Structure 1
Amino acid sequence: MLDYSLMVIFFVLVALLVAKLSQPKAPTQLLAGKAYVIDGDTLSISGNHIRLEGIDAPELNQNCGANACGQVSRQTLIRLIQGRPVRCEGNGHDKYSRSLAICFVGETNLNRAMVEAGQAIAYGDYRDVELQARRDKKGLWSGVFETPQDWRREHEQVPEAPQTQPQSNRAADLIDQFVGWIIGLVGGLW
């Protein structure tokens, strides 16, 4: 009876593992069309707010010394787009429910172009491009400035929007926990 029980448990575990591994990945969201530029790292296409992934631009009302760098950053993004259609490949959402995306005008990567112009700092991506903009003293790097993140921390008086948690799938959560337990157990045997 013990052998039979262990065999059933083994096959159930294998079935759960196969089910977990065969779950499709979330599709990349494609947003395209005429874009309205909100600030140096945020667009709106057909009412969808899109945050340019991997960069951080000055806030719209941020000043860098005598320079209205937030406005300059926004104007740079407007000039890069020049009224042409924008195509964005979404990769999830940020805490404000904006789509995180890499956006293009033709073949031009807007995220990268903003960092190249010195109008945004690299935030996870585009470090090589930022280093070149720093060496060339482009945009923000031509003087002293406060990083957008630090500026927000000091100047924002509006509390952040509450993060909404996605509806959880209890069965999927249980399977995830169980698979994690099995992997830990099997990993301990090797």
Structure 2
Amino acid sequence: MLMAIFFALVALLVAKLNKPEPLEPLIGKAYVIDGDTISIAGNHIRLKGIDAPELTQSCGTASALSPCGQASRQALIRLIGGREVRCASDGHDKYNRGLATCFIGNENLNRAMVQTGQAIAYGDYHDAEMQARSEKKGLWAGAFEAPQEWRKKQEALREPPQQQPNRSADLVDQFVDWMNRVLGELW
């Protein structure tokens, strides 16, 4: 009988931990972190479907490098222009940032970053990227390394990251230990 209660409690705990958070739109003043990430009220939001250069990324050739990561961030700051941003959430990325499509009024910021050549299409907005390419806008005006490829090279230069603790597994382990103590006292 106690084992059945124990397994029922474990099942309820696991179900609670795996329940996704409700996705609600975020609206407010945005702080621009980089060309594809903003923060609204402390919530980091990754602009879905695009990939912008990293802040420390430079583009061009060895003889003519430009800080394209900083330029991408500045382009997003100009697009937002201090106005209220509305983001429609669409899950989370591997860094637990909210994924979203964000707007100023009816203007899609994600698309605008690709149209101006300050980000590349990353699953969406391929038509906007083709237009920016043909017009040689932003990144397409010169040589650059795709942000994803640049990050891979940078990660290879760093030490391997320390494994992050699995909070869900730790909670389950703590619960099991507690149940063992409780059951051990009853036996």
Note the C-alpha offset of 1:29: 2.3
Note the C-alpha offset of 1:155: 1.4
Cα deviation code 1:138-186 (max 9, x no counterpart): 0000111000000001113265686787959xxxxxxxxxxxxxxxxxx
- 2:99 corresponding residue in structure 1: 100
Q: Structure 1 residue 83 and structure 2 residue 78: aligned?
A: no
* Residue-pair matches, total: 146
Note the C-alpha offset of 1:118: 0.2
Which of 38, 42, 62 pairs up with 1:43? 38
Contact 1:62 1:68 in 2 (8 A): yes
Contact 1:96 1:163 in 2 (8 A): no
Letter of the 1:149 partner, please give it: Q
SS of 1:71 mapped into structure 2? helix
- 2:153 corresponding residue in structure 1: 154
TM-score (norm 1): 0.70
Contact 1:95 1:163 in 2 (8 A): no
Q: Distance in 1 between matches of 2:118 and 2:161?
A: 24
Q: Distance in 1 between matches of 2:132 and 2:117?
A: 6
Q: Structure 1 residue 142 and structure 2 residue 141: aligned?
A: yes
Structure 1: gaps spanning 5 or more residues:
1-24, 169-190
Q: Distance in 2 between matches of 1:161 and 1:36?
A: 29
- 1:130 corresponding residue in structure 2: 129
SS of 1:29 mapped into structure 2? coil
Q: Structure 1 residue 28 and structure 2 residue 28: aligned?
A: no
Name the CA shift for 1:98/1:122 in 2 (closer, same or farther; >3 Å).
same
Hey, which bits of structure 1, 4+ residues long, moved more than 2 A? 25-29, 156-168
- 2:71 corresponding residue in structure 1: 72
Letter of the 1:124 partner, please give it: G
Q: Distance in 2 between matches of 1:155 and 1:110?
A: 27
Contact 1:96 1:161 in 2 (8 A): no
Q: Distance in 2 between matches of 1:51 and 1:39?
A: 10
SS of 1:34 mapped into structure 2? strand
Structure 2: gaps spanning 5 or more residues:
1-19, 170-187
TM-score (norm 2): 0.71
Q: Distance in 2 between matches of 1:165 and 1:91?
A: 23
Q: Distance in 2 between matches of 1:112 and 1:50?
A: 15
